Structure 1
Amino acid sequence: MSIINVTNLNIEEQAKLAQKASRMLSTLSTSDKNDALLMIADMLEAKYEYILTENEKDLVQGRKKEYDQAYMDRLLLTKERIRDFANGLREVVTLNDPVGTILSEWTLENGLNVKEQRVALGVIGMIYEARPNVTVDATGLALKSGNAIVLKGGSSALYSNKAIVSVIHEALTKTNIPVDAVQFIASTDRRAIEQLFTLKKYIDVLIPRGGRSLIETVVEKATIPVLETGVGNVHMYIDKEANIDKALSIIINAKTDRPAVCNSLETLLIHRDWFSANQEAFITMIQENGITIHGDKEITQQIPDSIEATEQDWSDEYLSLDLALKLVDNVQEAINHIEIYGTKHSEAIITEDALIAEQFMQEVDAAAVYHNASTRFTDGSALGYGAEIGISTQKLHARGPMGLPALTTTKLTISGNGQIR
């Protein structure tokens, strides 16, 4: 097939082109943007064989480098997964376009009419690791919200991402959105990539999505504002008054449904009295689901085949069927532990005591705090936001699942009739 080259420009030139394209995007209608997303979706499905051929090159390299199973699963593409990418774009088409929304309007005593309205951020720099689906998801959300995007995926998915972007470019040639609105950085040179962190003149915001090392590198080195999508060292506290059936069901779902995602359970804090009363059922559940426990000394004496936890275990995002476990005496001890080791992503309490639940939900500082529910719901579509570009764990601009509104800012438009001050 004929592929548009995505590799022959330097990073600063790509950022300039994206900025120029973003100005054109600001003039397009919702219909223009939706038509483009539908064209991309159709083209991805039509070109799936080409994408899978390129994906296999990444998989071959991954096997040579002995990536673990969870990592390889995130890297793997199938016809069904590509169809899911396409359907994800079609879902974005159904979402309300935030651009142009009037948030408030007022008229001053001097007759000036003031409107506060949503506008696109401009150019988004997206830096991410092994998931090729992010290439599609981020592009769809950026374009629908009127933003150009500069994509920098991990080297482990280089062939897959290049193929996906080339298909996106081919689709955009048939729409009113300029091809330059989607830029892909194919360089694997770390120095060249770090140049992206400093292109404040052309890029309005950086969004890192991946492991702790990637996110910390971007936050520390960027001179561009960063929307930080945090690591998920997710905790769950099982209170003395937790219902055993609810607790076991929620633990299984939060830990085993998809262990390699950021909203899966990593550390379990259990009230000592609850554990004593339900130890046998809990151990059976752990064994039946293949969960490896990293526990304190008390736990390792009571749970067969458990591993004594190190200090690092309380901080780790395992992304596997490993689970850190600690016994505590009360909810305050659980809250204090989360304050020390939490990443402000998602935390949960399981209890039938409404006062204890309220204390936990008020005192725990996180983007999402749950009572008697699985942390796996921290997801844009699951919580009713629609598609998301990531989970923000910071407090300014956006927090939690970042849907279309999070990719916009506001602008005041003031209309007068010759007023002076």
Structure 2
Amino acid sequence: MTNAATQFSSDSRIDPSIELPPVEGNVPPPTTTVIDHDDYPEGGLQAWVVVLGAWCAMVPPMGLINSMNIFQAWFSENQLKGMPESNIGWIISTYAFLVTALGAQVGPIFDAYDTWKLVVPGSIGLVLSMVFLSLSTEFYQIFLSFGICGGLGASLLFNPAVSAIGHWFCKRRAFATGIACTAGGISGIAFSLIIQYLAPRIGFPWAMRIIALISAALLGVASLTLRKRLPAEPRARLLMDFSLFRQKDFAVTVCAVFFVEFAVFIPYAFISSYALYQGWSLQDSFLLNTVLNAGAIPGRMLPGYVADRIGAFNTMCVTSMACAVLVLGMWQTAGDSRAAIMAFTALFGFWSGAAISLAPVCISRVCKIEDYGKANGMAYFIASFGALIGIPIAGALLGAGHDHYQNLIIFGGSAYLLAFVWFVIARGVAGGWSFGWF
């Protein structure tokens, strides 16, 4: 046990309840569950300033993701009118894919260098992509500006924002991450209202330029305040590290995150177009995105508070099952009932919030904190393929049966059931099968 413990830095230790096989030389054991020491700041001015910086850094990339159903509906009714929704879905899913997939490379860079070296170019790239989107009218132009350029810029912001918080908090990591992730809900509301009310009056191009201006101001704050606690390691490995998947607890946790990422974006992408199909006006359908994100604000903060007390894996099991019940129980039976659609949207917004805020916390529990950027990046690299294929597959299911949206809804609910099963497995493998904090 002593030899195994020495493989880890002073920022982490091996859970003494876990028996490890004998270790010879400097070869680490194949499976290691990491529990951190209590020498984190856990608060204080500098730590909370970092949370502020992470919040500012998350506003633009997560605001665009949380407004994806607005963009999906807007493009289908305006610039890309008449194009199949499955084709339009590739624009949104490519953006969501790149935000997380490129974390496999961004993560090691975060571990090796100062945060600003990622945040500054990411900020410039994302703001420019919004400006280019304001000038785009054809599918290939929107795909390149939003899907490709936007995803590239956002990928340099998301991973550092999440990983930097882990350097400053351990016991309160889930709550601090949840506070930062409320940026997605707030910006999702703000961006949606800008498109909903300003685009019809001043035009979509100027609405996007306003969003770009807001983003530039907040990303300037992020560039000045987002900092790591551990020193940069320029000699660290800068390439993707697939050896992390040799650790069983890390591998099964990544499988769980994959399925929850696969499932969560389906209602986000299609709830507004579902309302349009049920006869809602374009303006009213856009309001659903506001309701969805309003629910997500407490849904990202409160589960984090709970997770610090009962464990992030336990909380993810509960929230994943709750989302499966909501999709299969409420959305599937909502029909054209406005009250039912509105109730589902608000409740799903709350319960799905943990998928964004707690998934990286689960990853942090099965890696060393000095490797958090790399581990988080590799995990989301795999999970990003769920975001890439989930939305187009769901879009292709539209109209496949008698009830236009039923196959899509069943597909989304089944994905959440798989996420629940994998989080139960991950919780057992990484934390043990007896009930307790993990």
TM-score (ref. length: structure 1): 0.23
**When you count strand as a share of all residues, which structure comes out higher?**
1
Higher relative contact order (CA 8 A, sep 6+): 2
Task: Give the TM-score taking structure 2 as reference length.
Answer: 0.23
More helix by share: 2
Q: Work out which of the two has the higher radius of gyration on C-alpha atoms and give 1 or 2.
A: 1
